[in-house]
Amino acid sequence: MRLSLVHARYQLLETFRIPIALVGSAFFPAASMLFFVVPFSGNDRTVATYATAAMVTFAVMSTNIFQYGIGVAEDRAQPWDPYLRTLPAGAAPRFAGRILAGLAMTMLSLIPVVVIAAVATEARISGPAFLAAFGTIIIIAVPFTLMGLAIGYSLPSKAAIVVAQIVFFPLAFGGGLLFPPDQSPGFIEEIAPFLPTRGAVELMWAAVGDFPVNPLSLIMLGVWIVVLAAIAGWAYRRDEGRRFS
């Protein structure tokens, strides 16, 4: 456990040394907040709160897909990773450290969204709802972490960058993150429940308001988690087999 924290600390340190990397993961959600939410949510407190929750989901998704997808793929290409395997620790502290650092980065990327919501919109949230949202963020980080790991462990870094960029926008748009609940265009209403972003954002909406969750979205979110876990696990074992067996 102590070693996991050490690994997390140095991974964060490496990330912070290139500040633009921080800006990157927080940029899209914050920009979407400024362009789509602030001008249009007006004085409606519920609309603003739901829109903020959607942008938080957006941020959780993009941060995790990018940081794991690209970070893991780049690390796999470096001889530093195998060197660390010769130290008297197994692969576990490095992996646990990566997840801890990933959670910290996720929380950091949310700060601009939450600050913009508090300052520039009518979005308001009660203490218990804030805690519920906090817990929900950790839950909805799971499928996107797995998606990032699946990309990072199965693709070389140049391909991982492209795939991460290709998947994140359709997931956000198709999942209805850019529209208020029930106001998405028709075709998005049709496909959204089948995307992991929809189940995730509905959980967030339920945490910050009294949104009735669509069971289909939740079931599909569960299916996504199982499938992504299987792909990530397969890719991880294949990578271990190639490099360390």
Partner 1 sequence: MILARAVQATRRYGDVTALDRVDLDLHAGELVGLLGPNGAGKSTLLSLLVGLRRTSSGRVELLGGDPRDPAARRRIGMTPQETGLPPTLRVGEVVDFVSAHYADPVPRAELLGRFGIDDLARRQTGGLSGGQKRRLAVALAFVGRPRLVFLDEPTTGLDVTARRELWDGIRQFHADGGTVLLSSHYLEEIEALAHRVVVLGRGRVLADDSVTAVRDLVGVRRVSLVAPELPSLPGVRGVERIDGVTHLLTTDADQLVRDLVGSGVAFSELEIRPTSLEDAFLAITDGAGPEATGTPVTVGSDAPSDAVGSDTRPAQPADV
Q: Rule CB under 8 A: which residues touch partner 1? A: 2-3, 6, 10, 13-14, 17-18, 78-83, 85-90, 242-245
Beta carbon of residue 7, minimum distance to partner 1 (angstroms, whole number): 8
Minimum CB distance to partner 1 smaller for 131 or for 158: 158
CB of 18 to partner 1, least distance (A): 6
DSSP state of 182: T
Nearer to partner 1, 126 or 242 (CB): 242
Structure tokens at 146: 């797995």
Q: How far is CA 136 from CA 38, 131, 205, 210, 244, in A?
A: 24, 9, 10, 15, 36
In terms of Cβ atoms closer than 10 Å to its own Cβ (0-12, 13-18, 19+), residue 203 is: buried
Sign of the CA dihedral with 211 first, then 212, 216, and 219 last? positive
CB of 77 to partner 1, least distance (A): 9
Cβ proximity to partner 1, 211 vs 236, nearer residue:
236
User: How far is residue 123 from each of residues 35, 55, 102, 186, 195, measured CA to CA in Å?
Assistant: 16, 12, 27, 26, 26
Task: Report the C-alpha gap between 146 and 69 in whole angstroms.
Answer: 9
**CA gap 184, 161 in Å, rounded:** 29
Q: What minimum distance in Å lies between the beta carbon of 211 and partner 1?
A: 42
Other CB atoms closer than 10 Å to residue 163's CB: what's the count?
Answer: 20
Nearest to 224 by CA among 106, 145, 137: 145
Q: Which is nearer to partner 1, 14 or 190 (CB)?
A: 14
Q: Minimum CB separation from partner 1 for residue 21, in Å?
A: 10
User: How many whole angstroms separate alpha carbon 15 and alpha carbon 109?
Assistant: 13
Nearest to partner 1 of 90, 170 (CB atom)? 90
- Minimum distance, C-beta of residue 12 to partner 1, in the bound complex (Å): 11
Pick 84 or 229: Cβ nearer partner 1: 84
